[in-house]
Amino acid sequence: MVHSSNIVKAVEICRKYGSYKILLFGSAARKPLAEANDIDIVCYGVRERRARSNLFFDLSALDDPVDITFDDDVDAHILRDWEAYGQVLWAESTDAPTVPASAALSLQQVF
């Protein structure tokens, strides 16, 4: 079971380190959060090694396991597949974050 509050926190952490887009994929994007076993996210635009290291550290403090991937570390074909079925949680070009319905209220309270 994944908690929507941890998805919100993961978005905040990725944004803190300069991500311009955050994509949720995997079980949390395909199933109800109650059936998901972890949070899989792609963090776009974080290039500095120190920022990535700090991001990993901050995410490790969450109650749910988070598997983070960076957009420049993934084969373009795989990234397109994830983008096809995943959910953009936040992007600089959007006016408001989008999240799984169960997490929407929590994100609205944060942003």
Asked if the model's pLDDT at residue 107 lies above 80, the reply is: no
68-79 confidence digits (pLDDT tens): 999 999 999 999
- Distance separating alpha carbons of residues 21 and 98, to the nearest angstrom: 11
Asked if the model's pLDDT at residue 111 lies above 90, the reply is: no
Going by their DSSP bridges, the two strands 21-25 and 87-91 should be labelled as antiparallel
What number is the average pLDDT over the span 78-106? 73
Q: Which helix (H) or strand (E) holds 39?
A: strand 39-44
Asked if the model's pLDDT at residue 96 lies above 70, the reply is: no
pTM: 0.82
